[in-house]
Amino acid sequence: LAVLRIRLLICVLIWGGVFCPGQGYLPSLGRLRNVVVLAGAGISTASGIPDFRTPGTGLYANLAKYNLPYPEAVFDVDFFSDDPRPFYSLAKELYPGRHRPNYVHYFIRVLHQKGLLLRMYSQNIDGLEKMCGIPEDKLVEAHGTFASASCHLCYTAFPAEEQAIMSDGVPTCSFCSATVKPNVVFFGEDLPEKYFQHARDFPRADLLMIMGTSLQIEPFASLVNTVRSTVPRLLLNRHAVGPFERKPLRRRDYMELGDLVDSVSRLARILGWHAEIQDLLNSQEGGVWGPALCV
């Protein structure tokens, strides 16, 4: 049944003019040139990085030993000032280089190579989008990056290699002795300047793809509502989230729920992109994903 649903969706995307009762029309993929992707932690779980919120296995659940007042305190600047250890424990799991991109990342890269990707907006700080080859100018890391760091009090800049994240200690500023923090956006901090490209990008979008996100963190979550009302929105996710929880769905909203790699690999096969993605995986990742993607 899932395959039939996604085949119908892709038929609509590719050929256009196909009417889906209660959901209207989607434009032809051949006419799409400005696809915007919104992505969250769910696109990286197949790379071995837990998401944040899954009970028992999520990254927040694994911080229970620190007796946080609430899980999100790990990204609270004031709490970080008092006790940076929970953040640096979490950082060891997310630090770029420990994990490799998976099929979903390479699907988005191929979307770029086909000339279809206007921009990818990612909540992730794991660096896997860059690692798989998505160009800097096509990527907005909405919640910051590990690529640089600064003292969280005097703002002295430090190169990434001085963060010493993978050690058991906490890096400190050589000028004021406060804690050095990667340039990851904490609650209450300003978003990167590049994030505000959305004011130009989203009015231009002709398809919005939402992948692997709970759509719970603002203002990122509200971006989904800033495309034009005539623009189709496609959710590929484990669960319905945000406006996709509404019944009935808004006209031009579509969703495919379940395992994200399974959904994306089916989508790629129907589009005829699977072999290209698999070749990239073979050349860049040694084909480690190949057996798992024969779906």
Domain map (residue ranges) of the chain: 2-47+100-143+191-293, 61-97+153-184
String of DSSP letters for 60-119: TGGGGGG--SSGGGGGBHHHHHH--HHHHHHHHHH-TTSS---HHHHHHHHHHHTT-EEE
Cα angle: 195, vertex 136, 196; to 5 degrees: 10
**Tens of pLDDT along 212-250?**
999 998 999 999 999 999 898 999 999 999 999 988 888
- What residue type is assigned to position 55 of the chain? P
Instruction: Report, as residue numbers or ranges, the catalytic residues.
Output: 143
Query: Is 52 among the annotated ligand-binding positions?
Result: yes
Residue 37: which of 196, 209, 257 has the closest Cα? 209
Rounded CA gap, 234 and 239, in Å? 13
Quick check: do 2-47+100-143+191-293 and 61-97+153-184 share a fold? Answer: no
- Cβ of 288: how many Cβ atoms within 10 Å? 12
Report whether 154 belongs to an annotated binding site: yes
- DSSP assignment, residue 179? B
156-195 confidence digits (pLDDT tens): 988 765 445 656 678 888 899 888 888 899 988 889 999 9
Q: How confident is residue 31, by pLDDT bands cut at 50, 70 and 90?
A: low
Give 295's DSSP letter.
-
145 marked among binding-site residues: no
Give tens-digit pLDDT for 129-149. Answer: 999 999 999 999 999 988 788
Would the annotation count 43 as a binding residue?
yes
Q: Does 1.20.1250.20 match the CATH number of domain 2-47+100-143+191-293?
A: no
* CATH 3.40.30.10 is held by the domain 61-97+153-184: no
Annotated binding residue at 6?
no
In the predicted model, is pLDDT for residue 20 greater than 50?
A: no
Question: What's residue 162's pLDDT?
Answer: 43
**Mean pLDDT, the chain, integer:** 81
| Cα gap 64→172, rounded to integer Å | 25
Query: In this structure, what are the phi and psi dihedrals at residue 56, rounded to the nearest 5 degrees?
Result: 90, -35
Question: Could you tell me the pTM of the whole model?
Answer: 0.83
CA–CA distance, 109 with 116 (Å, rounded to integer) = 10
Most confidently predicted of 26-40, 44-58, 198-212, 263-277 = 198-212
